[in-house]
């Protein structure tokens, strides 16, 4: 067994016996590390905070490649206070952590970790969680091997496009369109930006609500249809979104 210090985020945390927990930490270098955190449920334990779900920081542990590692200590880098004060943002956090775990398990790519942390930081900074989540979802399609073609018409390569077809997997031009509805050019253009933007470099978002919601709808439909990734927390997120709409109306 070796002692390592590794940056990561706790993606799951479950009780184990009276006073301990078993946590999974997503890390860039070691992938997902399963870890026992002994005695961490005690108020006095220095392992209490580092063993909570979404704890993000540097974890010191006895590392075992096979079986459970043992958490020795942890230095929290950010508590994500702004997110944790807002039920809507917490539900986005829950969803993107769950989604990232699934995508990581399929692709084993360390970029996933970086993209997740950048997204959480942006939501914490106050950027629209729906937009950040959609950007992440869209970019993850590359890692799932089912990316949409957002460069040209999927049929003929024409770059003057008029809609997007879920079943054809990307943009379609006016010569190749069959029975697809036309989509607002603003939505088409913004989707392409979503696909290529570096999440860590986004500093402000100025997106029309209608464009934003249409993109959310398209990405949601595509995930349902093709990704095979359907997380529990996504349904919960939808419920919260619906409820907040009702509240706004009343
Ligand atoms: Zn075409």
Q: What is the whole-number distance in angstroms between the Cα of residue 176 and the centre of ligand 1?
A: 4
Count of structural domains within the chain: 2
Structure tokens given for 235: 């349904």
Q: Residues 218, 236: one domain?
A: yes
pLDDT value of residue 236: 78
Q: Residues 70, 89: one domain?
A: no
Q: Residues 42, 133: one domain?
A: no
Protein residues near ligand 1, an ion, with CB under 5 A: 153, 155-156, 158, 173, 175-176
Which CATH number fits the domain that encloses residue 195? Answer: 1.20.1440.120
Range of the domain at 228: 82-249
Q: What is the whole-number distance in angstroms between the Cα of residue 157 and the centre of ligand 1?
A: 6
Q: What is the whole-number distance in angstroms between the Cα of residue 185 and the centre of ligand 1?
A: 16
Q: Residues 9, 91: one domain?
A: no
pLDDT value of residue 97: 96
Q: What is the whole-number distance in angstroms between the Cα of residue 20 and the centre of ligand 1?
A: 59
pLDDT value of residue 32: 97
Give me the average pLDDT of each 10-residue run along the chain (250 residues): 95 96 97 97 96 97 95 97 95 95 94 98 97 97 94 96 94 94 95 96 93 95 83 77 64
pLDDT value of residue 250: 44
**Which residue matches tokens 């961490």?**
40
Q: Residues 70, 187: one domain?
A: no
Which CATH number fits the domain that encloses residue 63? Answer: 2.40.50.140
Q: What share of the chain has pLDDT > 70, as a percent?
A: 97
Mean pLDDT score of the chain: 93
- Domain end call among 79, 111, 132: 79
Q: Residues 151, 184: one domain?
A: yes
pLDDT value of residue 49: 96
Q: What is the whole-number distance in angstroms between the Cα of residue 173 and the centre of ligand 1?
A: 4
Q: Residues 243, 145: one domain?
A: yes
pTM of the model: 0.92
Q: What is the whole-number distance in angstroms between the Cα of residue 158 and the centre of ligand 1?
A: 5
Q: What is the per-residue DSSP string for the chain?
A: -EEEEEEEEEEEEEEETTTEEEEEEEETTTEEEEEEETTTTSTT-TTTGGGSTT-EEEEEEEE-SSS-EEEEEEEEEE--HHHHT-HHHHHHHHHHHHHHHHHHHHH--THHHHHHHHHHHHHHTT--HHHHHHHHHHHHHHHHT---B-SS-TTT--S-EEEEETTTTEEEETTT--SPPP--HHHHHHHHHHHH--GGG-------HHHHHHHHHHHHHHIIIII----HHHHHHHHHHHHHHHHHH-
């Amino acid at each position: 067994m070796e002692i390592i210090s590794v940056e990561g985020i706790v993606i799951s945390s479950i009780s184990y016996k009276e006073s301990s927990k078993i946590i999974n930490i997503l890390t860039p270098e070691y992938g997902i590390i399963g870890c026992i955190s002994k005695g961490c449920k005690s108020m006095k334990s220095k392992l209490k905070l580092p063993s909570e779900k979404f704890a993000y920081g540097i974890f010191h542990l006895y590392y075992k490649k096979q079986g459970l590692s043992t958490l020795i200590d942890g230095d929290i880098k950010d508590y994500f206070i702004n997110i944790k004060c807002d039920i809507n943002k917490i539900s986005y956090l829950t969803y993107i952590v769950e989604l990232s775990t699934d995508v990581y398990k399929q692709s084993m790519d360390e970029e996933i970790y970086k993209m997740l942390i950048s997204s959480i930081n942006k939501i914490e900074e106050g950027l629209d969680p729906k937009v950040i989540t959609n950007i992440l979802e869209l970019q993850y399609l590359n890692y799932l091997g089912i990316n949409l073609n957002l460069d040209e018409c999927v049929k003929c390569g024409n770059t003057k496009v008029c809609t997007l077809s879920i079943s054809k997997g990307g943009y379609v031009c006016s010569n190749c369109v069959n029975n697809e509805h036309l989509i607002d050019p603003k939505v088409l253009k913004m989707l392409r930006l979503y696909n290529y933007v570096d999440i860590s470099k986004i500093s402000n978002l100025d997106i029309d609500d209608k464009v934003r919601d249409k993109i959310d709808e398209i990405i949601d439909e595509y995930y349902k249809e093709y990704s095979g990734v359907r997380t529990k927390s996504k349904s919960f997120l939808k419920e919260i979104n619906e409820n907040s709409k009702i509240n706004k109306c009343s």
